[in-house]
Structure 1
């Protein structure tokens, strides 16, 4: 639907889904924006800045029809009415403006309706751009609604588990050489023993990294990730091809420089299919699954950071 006035024409869309979960459980999912990379297939990374009262600003990196877009949005959260309104402060072409609302309505008997409304305009009101945005909204909105529904249901019945952790290594080097080591993933097969193959390409300002690795348990996996530089010494990633039993995997590498020393940290946030992983790993319970996943992911990350430490410290000693 389109609406015209004195400015560019505005267009509206509405998408909704019925969810077998309580309205409060669904609202918790849409309110926690920093977990969106685990929930929404297009979302690569979200950086949150809290504002006054119930407001917040979000910097979002996401895929859209084989491209990577980034934008800043402002959100207003209303837990009482279970609504989240949003407005893009800085949009990415061909979008000129974008706003909308998430709304959760209880329909009784533990079920709810989740609705996502959008209002947008296109740069120059170009018809091709309008059609492109509508296609992107249709694809992304349907995917987002399905993902919120699956996450809310899975969290309520315990079949979906979220796990977050980090590991740090102190490196006697400035931050830039360490960041370069992490960024140059194309060189990892010759630098990291647990990496056997890498295919690295780029789209817009993002890297696309396909990689074969072996974890500490000797299991081989192929993963595919989008990687984006989100700050001077911060490299975030979202896996789009994950190991069996993983529903989603988001993480980032961060560097904190203090004089001649850099503390390099690997952050992991994963969403897991509990029963699938219990069966595949032969784990006894949830805690055993979490322990094994943490050991596998953390082991490879620490190995990467230790290799970065050895490489950069050796390079520095030769300078």
Structure 2
């Protein structure tokens, strides 16, 4: 298992940043690799997200179980279905106030499939982590652009 952490400063309050992170139905407008999104609420601040994407892992559909903690601006997720080259993945998104802006941090734990053994699995996991880091940078920059543009227009996050 390898952990990848990416972060970005966003010139907007934490509530505005968190709002975009939890408004998953809007992600196809915000994140260029997200083609379509469906949301199924399964409890208070809890959902199953089905995301159709085209990225460095190919064009595929992934499902994840997301739990929101609005009071601490935190999101925890566990991937339920993944592209075939990924064995498991989970993550945490946090938004923290930093001066007049916010720090958005995304941490993922990722591992290659168990069908690979020893050094092959380690090498595959390392490559997956590098690809995931690059993709997460795109997600972060897309969210930053969206939130900051909305803040300048007077509609932060929406």
For normalisation by structure 1, the TM-score amounts to 0.45
The corresponding residue for 1:46 is 37
CA positional deviation for 1:161: 10
* 1:14-93 mapped onto 2 (5 Å cutoff): 14-65=5-56, 67-93=58-84
The corresponding residue for 1:216 is none
Instruction: Give me the whole-angstrom Cα distance separating, in 2, the residues matched to 1:151 and 1:117.
Output: 21
Alignment partner of 2:104 out of 83, 99, 114: 114
Structure 1 120/162 Cα, relative in aligned 2: closer, same or farther at 3 Å?
closer
**1:96 and 2:87 aligned:** yes
* 1:106-185 mapped onto 2 (5 Å cutoff): 106-108=97-99, 110-124=100-114, 125=116, 126-158=121-153
**May I ask how many residue pairs the two structures share in their alignment?**
153
Deviation by residue 1:32-64 (Cα, 9 ceiling, x = unmatched): 011111111211111111111110001111122
CA positional deviation for 1:87: 0.6
- Unaligned 5+ segments in structure 1 are 1-9, 164-319
The corresponding residue for 1:305 is none
For normalisation by structure 2, the TM-score amounts to 0.88
RMSD, aligned CA: 2.2
Q: Secondary structure at the match of 2:43?
A: coil
Given that residues 86 and 101 in structure 1 are in contact (C-alpha distance below 8 angstroms), is that contact kept between their aligned partners in structure 2?
A: yes
CA positional deviation for 1:129: 2.9
Given that residues 56 and 135 in structure 2 are in contact (C-alpha distance below 8 angstroms), is that contact kept between their aligned partners in structure 1?
A: no
Greater RCO, 1 or 2 (C-alpha within 8 Å, sep 6+): 2
CA positional deviation for 1:95: 0.7
CA positional deviation for 1:30: 0.3
CA positional deviation for 1:79: 0.9
Runs (4 or more) in structure 1 with deviation over 3 Å come to 159-163
Higher-Rg structure is 1
CA positional deviation for 1:162: 10
* 1:293-304 mapped onto 2 (5 Å cutoff): none
Instruction: Give me the whole-angstrom Cα distance separating, in 2, the residues matched to 1:113 and 1:162.
Output: 15
Instruction: Give me the whole-angstrom Cα distance separating, in 2, the residues matched to 1:66 and 1:79.
Output: 30
